[in-house]
Chain A
Amino acid sequence: MLSASAPTTGSESGLGLDRIIELLPEIGVAMGQTFVMLLVAIPLAILLGTPLGVWLYSASPVGLKPRPRAHRIVDSLVNTIRSFPFLILLIAIIPITRFIVGTTIGTAAVIVPLTINAIPYFARFVEQNLTQLGSGVVEAARAMGATRGQIVRDVLLVEARPALIGSITIMTVSFISYSAMAGLVGGGGIGDFAIRYGYYRYETVVMLAAIVLMIALVQVVQIGGTRLARVLDKR
């Protein structure tokens, strides 16, 4: 195994390129795990966070259908989940994780806390983006006899689309970083790879290689997200 054959460290052997080449398969696996985590957690967060965010917007005291008391409760629940440091959330919800995916270790087990963390995170983005649209288009839609569902689907979410793409981009970048803590429950991923080799084994060059990969990943996500938002934004 690789862990048994690591006598050289990057800082002592020049560039340590051969060490990186030696670890390439493992880096590939780690990148794959990161992709899986993001590709499951982010879409799930969008799928579940959007209705929650729309509800937060709609039920607020100035929303489409104010429900002040229910809003207060859900609002503080969202804040509560958002307050947990991710590492603690990861541990705290182990029973829930076991219930949902049947295991508490591995990549699948990390996806649960990532998603649970991401849902209220994205819901806040949705709420914020809808609030910032202003009352003009909502008023016009009401005057046209739109139902609340139509106002949300055909007006608010359409008008907020560029802002929502921006929010998804920010969320994805944040969760590339969060996913690094997956190692704690054996979830793997490129961030975990960097921690294991750089932090635990002082293989600085290997860590740097992993970090360069993460930088590249963040760049691709950010540039792609910005482009997409710009194309969709007709203002």
Chain B
Amino acid sequence: MISLRNVSTTFRGKDGDFTAVNDVSLEIPAGSIQGIIGFSGAGKSTLLRNINLLERPTRGQVVLDGVDLTALDDERLRRERHQIGMIFQHFNLLNNRTALQNVELSLKFAGIEKAERRRRAQEALEIVDLAEKSTSYPAQLSGGQKQRVAIARALVTHPKVLLCDEPTSAVDPRTTASVLQYIADINQSLGITTVVVTHELNVVKAIADNVAVMENGAVVERFDVADLAAGTFEPGTEIGRYLLDEEIHLDRTPLAGRRDPASGAPLRGRDGKELAHA
């Protein structure tokens, strides 16, 4: 179980401080898949990085199976990180290492012997059906394959937790389903507690058990995906309604009423008429 207790993260910048995560408390049951959804800049990626302390929270605690990660020294924290796999939107594979070497690296950092590294890395690539690509470099793989190598790299150390930062945002829609299928399968068969950050409602609907909606650094809404599927969930916030509304609405005449900055004359269309609201 992952417990986030009153977690806040503030970045100091030239133009003053920016609070990316604002007093978030969240309990993620062991073995479940937690979705975190929100628009760009809502703080969801920072919150995800708070879990493995890639981004150390300014305040609050992150407790993994009873261990307060925020209280650990660097050495202990590194050891805990071997228990927490992570995958990224842009895969973050090493370009100058083969698929197998990329997966092995994770084991090397975990202090596993070389002979065993090779065997376990092969095994992990087998799980994501990429055994035959073990000698390929990332440049020779498709986006979906790269993400699968990244998944193999994340799970090869037998972690308790898998953190997924926009795992399907850089792959096409068909590949999205395949990547999510692997994440779901791994969650099911290995019982890995999984956290998926995304801005795509389809992704959380497909994969998550519980969803937290974030806006301006705070969790503003939570729901069970089961309730959403059953149609019994009513979003209580505007952002929730917006996120659950899959239609895209466009203003048909967004330039109506604009004026040419030089002459001050109203903008005209190709037909010579002023732009007007439909």
Residues of A with Cβ closer than 8 Å to B? Answer: 136-137, 139-147, 150, 154-155, 158-159, 161-162, 232-235
Instruction: Give the most central of B79, B81, B86, B105: most A CB within 10 Å.
Output: B105
A142 CA to B137 CA, complexed, in Å: 22
Per the CB 8 Å criterion, the residue count for chain B at the interface is: 29
- Distance in Å: Cβ of A63 to nearest Cβ of chain B: 15
Is B121 positioned at the interface, with any CB of A under 8 Å from its CB? no
Contact B96 A159 (CB under 8 A): yes
B residues in contact with A136, CB < 8 Å: 88, 90, 92
User: Would A140 and B81 be within 8 Å (CB), given that A234-B95, A235-B139 are in contact?
Assistant: no
- Distance in Å: Cβ of A6 to nearest Cβ of chain B: 54
Contact A145 B78 (CB under 8 A): yes
Contacts between chains A and B (CB distance < 8 A), count: 70
A141 CA to B86 CA, complexed, in Å: 10
A234 CA to B96 CA, complexed, in Å: 5
Contacts A140-B92, A146-B109, A233-B96 known; 17 new A-B pairs at CB < 8 A: A136-B90, A136-B92, A139-B54, A139-B88, A139-B92, A141-B105, A143-B81, A143-B85, A143-B86, A143-B163, A145-B78, A145-B80, A150-B108, A154-B108, A158-B96, A158-B97, A159-B96
- Distance in Å: Cβ of B59 to nearest Cβ of chain A: 21
A31 CA to B21 CA, complexed, in Å: 64
Q: What is the chain B residue whose CB lies nearest that of A136?
A: B92
Q: What is the chain B residue whose CB lies nearest that of A142?
A: B54
Contact B94 A159 (CB under 8 A): yes
A residues in contact with B105, CB < 8 Å: 141, 144, 154-155
Contact A145 B81 (CB under 8 A): yes
A142 CA to B79 CA, complexed, in Å: 11
Contact A232 B52 (CB under 8 A): no
A144 CA to B95 CA, complexed, in Å: 17
- Distance in Å: Cβ of B147 to nearest Cβ of chain A: 13
Q: What is the chain B residue whose CB lies nearest that of A151?
A: B109
Contact with A along B67-99 (1 / 0, CB 8 A): 000000000001111101110101011111100
A137 CA to B88 CA, complexed, in Å: 10
Is B110 positioned at the interface, with any CB of A under 8 Å from its CB? yes
- Distance in Å: Cβ of B54 to nearest Cβ of chain A: 6
User: Would A162 and B54 be within 8 Å (CB), given that A136-B88, A234-B137, A234-B139 are in contact?
Assistant: no
- Distance in Å: Cβ of B99 to nearest Cβ of chain A: 11
B residues in contact with A140, CB < 8 Å: 86, 88, 92-93
Is B106 positioned at the interface, with any CB of A under 8 Å from its CB? yes
- Distance in Å: Cβ of B202 to nearest Cβ of chain A: 25
- Distance in Å: Cβ of A150 to nearest Cβ of chain B: 6
Contact B88 A145 (CB under 8 A): no
A155 CA to B101 CA, complexed, in Å: 11
Instruction: Give the most central of A136, A154, A234: most B CB within 10 Å.
Output: A234
B residues 200-215 near A (Cβ < 8 Å) are: none
Q: What is the chain A residue whose CB lies nearest that of B84?
A: A143
A212 CA to B234 CA, complexed, in Å: 81
CB < 8 Å: which of A139, A142, A143, A158 contacts B94?
Answer: A158
A residues in contact with B90, CB < 8 Å: 136
A161 CA to B97 CA, complexed, in Å: 11
Can you show 13 pairs from A to B with CB atoms below 8 A apart? A136-B90, A136-B92, A143-B52, A143-B86, A144-B105, A144-B106, A144-B110, A146-B109, A158-B96, A159-B95, A161-B96, A232-B96, A234-B138
A residues in contact with B93, CB < 8 Å: 137, 140
Q: What is the chain A residue whose CB lies nearest that of B139?
A: A235
> 10 smallest A-B Cβ distances: which pairs?
A145-B81, A140-B92, A234-B137, A143-B86, A136-B92, A145-B78, A146-B109, A235-B95, A145-B82, A144-B109
A222 CA to B224 CA, complexed, in Å: 62
Q: What is the chain B residue whose CB lies nearest that of A147?
A: B78
Contact B139 A145 (CB under 8 A): no
User: Would A150 and B109 be within 8 Å (CB), given that A139-B88, A145-B79, A234-B139 are in contact?
Assistant: yes
Instruction: Give the most central of A144, A158, A159: most B CB within 10 Å.
Output: A144
A180 CA to B11 CA, complexed, in Å: 52
A145 CA to B93 CA, complexed, in Å: 15
Q: What is the chain A residue whose CB lies nearest that of B101?
A: A158
